[in-house]
Amino acid sequence: MNAKSLGIFGLLVMLFVFMVLMTSDPWTDIFSSTFLQSNNLENLLRRVSMYGLLGIGVAFVIITGGIDLSVGSIVCLAGCLLGIFLQVDYEPASVFDVRSANSQQQSVVVYGNADGTYKAGDKLRMYRGRRPALLTVLDVEPVQLANSDNKSIGVGTVLKVEGLSRDEDSGQVAMAFEIADFGPAEKDQPAWVSLRDVPFDLTARDRVTFFHPTLGLKDLVVSAATQDGSVSRIEFEQTLGERFSKEWMAVPTERQQRMAIPLAILSVLGIAGLLGLIHGLLVTRVHLQPFVVTLCGLLIYRGISRWLVDDNPVGFGIEYKETLSPLGSGKLTLFEWGDGANTFGIPYPLFVFLCAAVVAAVFLNLTIWGRYLMALGSNEEAARYSGIRTGRVTILAYVICTVCAATGGILFALDSGSISPSSFGNFYELYAIAAAVLGGCSLRGGEGSIFGVIAGTAVMMLLNNLILLLKIPDRLEFTIIGLVILVGVTLDETVRRIAARRRAMKSASN
């Protein structure tokens, strides 16, 4: 640890003590401090971890003498891509899109050939908002569909039905099944039903939608299912309720997750790495300035993110509540008190962050590539003249940066559960750069330590917390953070100058 890291660490400790004292009431009883409340501390650790990841990544680029402004947009892109890769659809069996439905003629026209899928006597669910409609098929007849100019637009099917109560010009129809049997008799116990002729095997986490034309809808998650000939017995953890009867119909839906979780995460990180590679190539081979390259990245990735999801919020909902989401929002509980009302634990992102920090610190300090990075950041020409492939090392730094940013983006997205592509990750690059600079990275390159970046991030987050807890108007947040950084780097520069002068005098007198 060098003197610079020590300085920022000192600042961190001072801020911490200051926060404790300022938020305790009275001053002597520090345990009354709102700052020291366990959820505040947990939250702080979580934020430090996530922003810290960004800081570590950008520190690598800053050490090469470059800059990465695209971090915030990469965070957003990673969040959106993860949402897309992990999107879950529940697809009913034998579903068709409705072109039009005529209640007078009791006919429904759907796209595609439904002959063979549906036959007379089948029950269909017609989707119509929250109010389900049950149709019975009388006749199925394929037709050629044409648009208003009499141009063919492919095959369709006319369904003669019973039970259509109003006209539609969109929607879907899907096969509905009658309840063959259900139980148990005690309606407050986890339920089971059996259905006949379900065209696919249901498994855990699939869903079954039960509906009744007047009594409404119920969506249950399958916990287990067994197949016995044409009869499927489906078990749930939820109950069916008092009013459930054989009058209800069931639409089994198959859970379709686009990618397995590990694959999704690897894909996001891979794409981010690829973008980093492009940044690096543009900087080293085309000799563009890092500022320009990554500024363009900032704009491009933000736009792509918004376009990919149509500017709609991306959410992970309850689908990954048990599996992936805790990685962002969960914690490892260490203490419990007051009958479990109070807990303190280590947020999971902290583990991710610490792993990344240890790997980064080892890489930077103990491997030849870390030394290469420091050398080329300080004097690229001399590094090249020493046989170092400076281009490759620089590219590596950009890849590390975008991968770290994407990792942070995944955690941020999981933590907040739902992200809006137009604002998610905005200005995060500035937090990351500020943390790195505060932590002792010189924008001229060749200087910086992982410990410093961690301390720098912690200082930033403490300041943020201070503004919140001391009820300083949050409009002033950026101002305060800006001022603290300014004072910090000014002090650092001054101290360094004095130290350098002293050292120079000392070696001159030798």
Residues interacting with other proteins, by CB under 8 A?
366-372, 374-375, 378-379, 381-389, 446-447, 503-505, 507-508, 510
> Smallest distance, Å, CB 377 to other proteins?
9
> Smallest distance, Å, CB 60 to other proteins?
16
> Smallest distance, Å, CB 439 to other proteins?
18
Q: What's the CA gap between 342 and 40, in Å, rounded? A: 12
Q: What's the CA gap between 449 and 402, in Å, rounded? A: 18
> Smallest distance, Å, CB 422 to other proteins?
42
**For residues 323 and 367, which CB has a smaller minimum distance to other proteins in the complex?**
367
**For residues 171 and 445, which CB has a smaller minimum distance to other proteins in the complex?**
445
Q: At what angle do helices 450-469 and 428-438 cross, to 10 degrees?
A: 120
Two tokens, residue 190:
């986890």
Whether 349 contacts 366, CB under 8 Å: no
Q: What is the DSSP string of 423-463?
A: TTTTTHHHHHHHHHHHTT--TTSS---HHHHHHHHHHHHHH
Which of 491, 509, 484 lies closest to 12, judged by CA?
A: 484
**For residues 111 and 369, which CB has a smaller minimum distance to other proteins in the complex?**
369
**For residues 144 and 509, which CB has a smaller minimum distance to other proteins in the complex?**
509
> Smallest distance, Å, CB 366 to other proteins?
5
**For residues 149 and 381, which CB has a smaller minimum distance to other proteins in the complex?**
381
Q: What's the CA gap between 220 and 209, in Å, rounded? A: 6
**For residues 39 and 386, which CB has a smaller minimum distance to other proteins in the complex?**
386
Whether 481 contacts 15, CB under 8 Å: no
Which of 123, 165, 158 lies closest to 139, judged by CA?
A: 158
> Smallest distance, Å, CB 13 to other proteins?
28
Contacts of residues 339-347 at CB distance under 8 Å and 24 or more positions apart, as own/partner, are: 342/38, 343/38, 344/38, 344/41, 344/42, 345/42, 346/42, 346/45, 347/42, 347/43, 347/45, 347/46, 347/49
- 184's torsion region: left (phi>0), alpha (psi -120 to 50) or beta? beta
**For residues 185 and 368, which CB has a smaller minimum distance to other proteins in the complex?**
368
Which of 251, 163, 148 lies closest to 208, judged by CA?
A: 251
**For residues 185 and 286, which CB has a smaller minimum distance to other proteins in the complex?**
286
Whether 342 contacts 353, CB under 8 Å: no
User: Phi and psi of 404, rounded to 5°?
Assistant: -60, -45
**For residues 14 and 362, which CB has a smaller minimum distance to other proteins in the complex?**
362
Exposed/middle/buried for residue 138 (C-beta within 10 Å: 0-12, 13-18, 19+): middle
**For residues 150 and 510, which CB has a smaller minimum distance to other proteins in the complex?**
510
> Smallest distance, Å, CB 351 to other proteins?
23
> Smallest distance, Å, CB 362 to other proteins?
8
> Smallest distance, Å, CB 286 to other proteins?
18
> Smallest distance, Å, CB 435 to other proteins?
23
